Structure 1
């Protein structure tokens, strides 16, 4: 474990934490527990299952909570809780981000409920630290199960995982027989519970900490248009330009706008939308968060991921850029069962409630409420090859009981061109 600490940070100084005294065999008199603690200390050279201290990761001072799995399976007991609580307290005093390098089998059964109740203690400390505007990062090592996953792991702002790590609430000896692949870092990534699988841990941590600790209150400028500079003559021309397969999309804009960036992934509710790109990027040395639609119908998981990103950025004081490009929210039966309306409402609420500035650029299709949820009132710009509409021309035509041949005329009635949006006061200007 000491080698792991040295590999990710420099100048590590361990915190001196007074540990709770207990009877030889612990709070529930578990026969032989005292001897097991002594053997664990001899085997690992550590006094407990976690080491906590401060060091520099890249250029950022951080507080580290590092688990030693060799010490009783990295289990959580009362003295573990002492150390973790002290680490969070010091992080708030020092105003440093908290990085948890987790490898644990869960709560220490030899201490009974006294051990399990440490999860409440940890959750309280994490909540206080989040409220103080301090970022929390977790790294899931092998294994990360039980209460360690359900508090320090899954409860972090950004969740990273090492390849092949066992990750799940149930450990291998207590889970039902069946699909073991569900309990892997890769499966948790696919299900929206992990942000990234990490190969270069020191480098990735340094990048993330740089991004999350470099907030600027300045409103982001909208990106420059990457497509055509010609304004459409008609609204139907605007629709066709926005739907052109060769026009620039979200990744093109993000790559041109940021010097470098890191994505988050997943809604933490079991879903990932590949048509929504969220994360944090560095532009001219400052951090800007982004939530971008990629041209597809946005799923409930995409809206929830965007809301998660905006709320996190707001808590950390990081301004937000949103890119609008969707024919609309997914509205099939699966989307309704997944809570489409509630998910869209989350994004509307996140944008409306943000104390940091939010800037929006419409880069393609602006299809109804699923697009408007991403847009910032009073700070929305449009590109020449975009449109914004109350509904799609095809849907409007069907609602009005018109024939398909009337779609272009209906589009023109909707006044959805970029120049129309500026005239109507929906957009501030055309980039």
Structure 2
């Protein structure tokens, strides 16, 4: 069932008070292509007239500016009652004007989407609007302004593939139909759950499912985090949260350092993030079909300033985790927000499923994002640093180590196996790898041990 919100009801649900100011249409003839549109679709003019009478709108999208939780934004809202919220040439004109206003005024763009796709009665002229919207989205992205999409019911076709999936942060209403293929054109027997907001969340395509009554607050929080002044310079590394007494001496052997890092008592990423930030907003998913609960990514406020973060949670990192972290780093770089990463993984997942999911390419993507980021990066090694799966998340030249941590070219057990050593020789191998925190400082890998 289609979303019961009209375009203006959706706007009223998220914009503060009555402060919405609609953007004026570009001057010109009402319908320059004739009463039945650019391809002469029989009765199209009458359909437009009926849609206008039924909805009170002149097109399928309403665009304007308003404040959401105190943050000024350009707001785009679709009217599904107007020909199924379809995109035609006039829709493209209005959307282009909205993106242009956001870019010129340096405002975030919030889109409240409910659409069935491109308008068939305008033929290829309608489909070409997707390129128009994609170009405007890219221009706004290059300007450094964030884009947040809200997927209403339904969000399908080109509207999903441009305004929706092209946004930086994607929220959806519960039960919303979301997918490139609408309900009438899917393959027979297709799993309907895959075309829902919940299904898209599980497959890493959206960031959160938000109830209607919580939507205004959710948008306000996201706009506050993405629009806060960035932390100046590299983020300071978090102070140590110790599993052992503060006065305890450093690990005497490599194997002792490994044991400390693997201790169940040792603090994990959740504890560090809670101690470091006043509040956080998290993204979810790699936009390629996967999620990794062992990689937390998002934006936090610290002393009123924004810092992005990507944190491993002590598990083997999945390809989706590396891609999500790369997505976070690229978004933070575009918004000018510095990045803090917390390294804690025994290594990259190395089972057959991880290989099929492109583990190597995902790790390479994160290495590339970290290497080319223009914003300051800081990394704290808080536990295990297992080989390239850990190094991919490490800031080049700005790595710090917590006392209960180690970093190694490979896990001691794997090193012993490769070198044909016995299991009894694993502790000795750990010593030879020089993986203790102060070893990392001596080797020039870490800048220091925190605390």
Which TM-score applies when normalising by structure 1? 0.98
Residue 210 of structure 1 aligns to a residue in which SS? helix
Q: Cα RMSD (Å) of the superposition?
A: 1.0
Deviation sequence 1:167-206 (CA, Å, 0-9, x none): 0001111111221111000000000100111121100000
Residue 20 of structure 2 aligns to a residue in which SS? strand
2:79 aligned partner: 68
1:4 aligned partner: 10
Whole-Å separation in 2 of the counterparts to 1:175 and 1:215: 45
2:238 is matched with which residue: 216, 220, 223?
Answer: 223
Pairing of 1:28-427 with structure 2 (within 5 A): 28-178=39-189, 179-199=191-211, 200-216=214-230, 217-227=232-242, 228=244, 229=246, 230=248, 231-427=250-446
Residue 82 of structure 1 aligns to a residue in which SS? helix
Deviation sequence 1:331-379 (CA, Å, 0-9, x none): 1222112111111111111111010000000000000011011111221
Verify the 8 A CA contact 1:365 1:388 in the aligned structure 2: yes
Q: CA deviation at 1:215?
A: 3.7
Residue 99 of structure 1 aligns to a residue in which SS? strand
Q: CA deviation at 1:251?
A: 1.1
Q: Indicate the larger mover: 320-329 or 416-425.
A: 416-425
Q: CA deviation at 1:20?
A: 5.3
Verify the 8 A CA contact 1:20 1:82 in the aligned structure 2: no
- Tell me whether 1:16 sits opposite 2:24 in the alignment: yes
Whole-Å separation in 2 of the counterparts to 1:339 and 1:235: 32
Residue 112 of structure 1 aligns to a residue in which SS? helix
Equivalenced residue count is 431
Gaps of 5+ in 1: none
Whole-Å separation in 1 of the counterparts to 2:265 and 2:437: 19
Verify the 8 A CA contact 2:235 2:338 in the aligned structure 1: yes
Whole-Å separation in 1 of the counterparts to 2:81 and 2:446: 59
Which TM-score applies when normalising by structure 2? 0.94
Whole-Å separation in 2 of the counterparts to 1:196 and 1:15: 29
Q: CA deviation at 1:250?
A: 0.8
Deviation sequence 1:203-240 (CA, Å, 0-9, x none): 00000011111242421111111123332111111100
Q: CA deviation at 1:5?
A: 0.9
Verify the 8 A CA contact 1:278 1:292 in the aligned structure 2: yes
Deviation sequence 1:31-87 (CA, Å, 0-9, x none): 111111111111111110000000111121100110011111100000000000000
